[in-house]
A and B are shown apart, each in its own frame.
Chain A
């Protein structure tokens, strides 16, 4: 046990010397770290110049930027309005969407325009 205590003290003397020597950061290294920090902040500021009014305004700005700005928003609104109008009042060449949604049944007499005798005559 005494041997272990001596060994611990011997090692601890070395660890203490290492601790005493390791408190300093070379000035050139510190300067490089700070230059990196400034570069990152500058790049971030260039990407998001208007995101400082608050998190809500920042998020709206980011959303508009993703879509392509206000002109794109205008086109999107116009397309939505056209779609609604087509649904409410479709042109004649388009089927009635309400009718398509609601099941309707009707009877169709396939033989209405043919005389039964002429159909039977085809068989010879």
Chain B
């Protein structure tokens, strides 16, 4: 799923481009077989290709989650870039096996988002509409329009949630992380995660109630 000017990241097998033939395919396969821990160690030792793989693998998720939490593309880009910069600087001190690199990076993104809110950075849904999402070739035009309407409605409802509920809902239902992993990212208990996501979903359902027909959803 690529558009002009965008780079697809691996996400549960969806997206990405077809593998090129010959030697490039084997190099890509080799890169794909390396763990995040191994790539961070390679990067710390000066391997430039490790930076490319880590950016492709972790960059999209950092940007996407920041976008949903902040509701502003420019702010999300700043947060994602800062989060990756912290990864580059931290690399020599990374101890493999203690935690997942992705968990650490999600935590950095969430804390940067909280810092932005505390500093009074204004987040709004309007900026998301300035640059439309790239079209998904797997969806028809009416389906893409419906997706666009649902995304806009969801983002507006997400911005009405308290910060921590929003973070938990985004990590659970958009990033599809497990409750224990979310607990590690947000540094709270699993029970607290379950409470946040349950309350967040109830609030979202209430905010979107009455718009089912408009958003193309029928009960029957």
Contacts and interface: CB of A to CB of B under 8 A. Distances in A.
Interface of A: 6-7, 9-15, 17-30, 32-34, 36-38, 40-41, 44-45
Given A10-B208, A37-B51, A29 B11 contact: no
Given A25-B59, A27-B7, A17 B147 contact: yes
Contacts of B153: 14
B162 interface: no
A18 B153 CA distance: 10
Contacts of B77: 26, 29
Contact of A20 (B2, B51, B136, B155): B136
B55 A19 contact: no
A10 B217 contact: yes
B14 to A, nearest CB: 7
Contacts of B59: 25, 29-30, 33
Contacts of A10: 205, 208, 212, 217
Contacts of B89: 40
Given A33-B84, A37-B55, A14 B150 contact: yes
Contacts of B106: none
A48 B218 CA distance: 64
Contacts of B48: 37-38, 41
A41 B92 CA distance: 11
B67 interface: yes
Contacts of B134: 24
The secondary-structure label for the interface of chain B is helix
A21 B147 contact: yes
Contact of A22 (B51, B52, B64): B64
A37 B91 CA distance: 11
Interface residues of B, number: 57
B184 to A, nearest CB: 21
Contacts of B176: 19
A38 B51 contact: yes
B173 interface: yes
Nearest to A39: B88
Most A Cβ at <10 Å: residue of B8, B14, B48, B84? B84
Contacts of A33: 55, 59, 80-81, 84-85
B68 A18 contact: yes
A24 B151 contact: no
B147 A20 contact: yes
A23 B9 contact: yes
Contacts of B52: 34
Given A14-B153, A24-B7, A25-B9, 5 more contacts: A23-B64, A25-B8, A30-B7, A33-B59, A33-B81
A40 B88 contact: yes
A32 B77 CA distance: 10
Chain B CB count within 10 A is highest, among A6, A34, A37, A44, for A37
A9 to B, nearest CB: 8
A21 B81 contact: no
A33 B165 CA distance: 29
